Amino acid sequence: MSASEFLLPDVGEGLTEAEIVSWKVKAGDQVTVNQTLVEIETAKSIVELPSPFTGVVTAVLVEEGATVDVGTPIISVSTGAEPVDAPAPARGPADDVVADTADTISPEDQGPDATKADDKPGAVLVGYGLKGQVASRRGARAAAMPTIDPAGLRLDRVPAASASSVIAKPPIRKLAKDLGVDLSQVNPSGLAGEILREDVVRGASQASVFRNIETPAWGVDREEYIPVKGVRKAIATGMVKSAFTAPHVGVFVDVDATRTMEFVKRLKNSTDFAGVKVSPMLVMAKAMIWAVRRNPTVNSTWTDEQIVVHHYVNFGFAAATPRGLVVPNIKDAQELSLRELAQAIEQMTNVARDGKLQPADMSNGTITVTNIGVFGMDTGTPILNPGEVGIVALGTIKQKPWVVDGEVRPRFVTTLGASFDHRVVDGDVASRFLADVASIIEEPALLLD
């Protein structure tokens, strides 16, 4: 028998250090090849490291919470054999998901669903074995009195004996219950008088935008010290580099998104999209990919020596997770159908929120969207994702007065804001690109051309 030390590996993309989050074994434990030894946090993701040895743990060499460099010995295993090589990791296939329609867009309807799946993936054997699939499921629907709105959507009414008539779909009722919102006190904004997620969230957000409805008390200590590491350190480094190396220029446009909302409803009712999450974010993604083809320089990288124009789209989207903001991207998104793109966005979102994104999932992006509308924001000036020269912010979609054929009518309106690297993208190109995106939001049927 001989003692073998397991060195902290480079889990991908040239990362130089990682934090030891939690040990899954201790001294004296018997371990086998591909058994999870430890969970680490890199600058971009949580990773489970499998054992390349079979043997007995003789010592854990690094404490939980410590940050160590790649190549540092972290555990010693008494073995009778050399480390076992295993195949490179492979990504599991996407799972189908469902979503519900809203006219004023909420976190669940304008962008990726915030609800995590119940099924958890297996060990992620980064650099040593296969990566498990991330499962998602259809939310349970309560049995209530069904009705149909003018768009053909199934709604539920409360029993006739209740104090007031409330129209809401089962997922909306569940959300209201989780947030402690009395639906009878909520003002509906749906086309058929139904309560939407936005209405529930607005009711709950009187105290907080998020789920902690009660305002917490002040902390006992006068100050709190949060170590700058992991995702937060990566965000800070990337944003400072982007803000102070790329000269940002911003453009904005208000858009009538009424036909996008109608298009989304039709897709939701289509058998071709059964079991697939559909939202205005999907139309936005497809619009940007289409506009890139017409304005290719917005899909470039600046290298000081040259401008690299990408004739493919690795479509990135900012995702808020419990660990901070991450920007995964969908490789070769231009090759995907609308249905495939919807599935890819949902799959990547689930992986991000489960903390299982790998460095490759967040590298080599070419253009990004940030969906600030899920937080009720109208618009903003986003900072470029490092290495990219274009990013678009999708604002909230809500009813506003809008002039149509000389008459003021209620329409669903959003604001698109975009930032570009002025070293690469001139003002005319930036304006044409955003105008092209806006044209699709105004008339999604152009996607069929």
E strand or H helix at 362, and its extent? none
Residue 355's φ and ψ, nearest 5 degrees, are 70, 25
Identity of the amino acid at 24: K
Given a contact cutoff of 8 angstroms between Cβ atoms, the answer to whether 308 and 56 are in contact is no
Q: How many residues does the chain have?
A: 449
Alpha-carbon span 216 to 61, nearest angstrom: 39
Is 38 in contact with 49 (CB distance < 8 Å)? yes
Q: 17 with 70: CB under 8 angstroms?
A: yes
User: Tokens representing 279?
Assistant: 């939202």
- Among candidate residues 248, 310, 311, 422, the one labeled active-site is 422
Buried residues in 215-229 as b, exposed as e (16+ CB within 10 A):
eeeeeeeeeeeeeee
The C-alpha atoms of residue 313 and residue 310 are separated, in whole angstroms, by 7
List b or e across 132-161, with b for residues whose CB sees 16 or more CB atoms inside 10 angstroms: bbbebeebeeeeeeeeebebebebbebeee
10 Å CB burial of residue 241 (0-12, 13-18, 19+) is middle
Q: From residue 167, how far is each of 154, 172, 194 by CA, in Å?
A: 10, 10, 5
Please name which of 236, 204, 189, 249 lies closest in space to residue 428, comparing C-alpha atoms. 249
SS3 at position 257:
coil
For the question of residue 310 being annotated catalytic, the response is no
Which tokens belong to 82?
């050399």
Closest CA to 316 of 294, 295, 297, 292: 292
**Euclidean distance between CA atoms 209 and 230, whole angstroms:** 25
**Strand residues in 65-195 grouped as ranges (E):** 67-69, 73-79, 145-148, 154-157, 167-168
Active site residues: 422
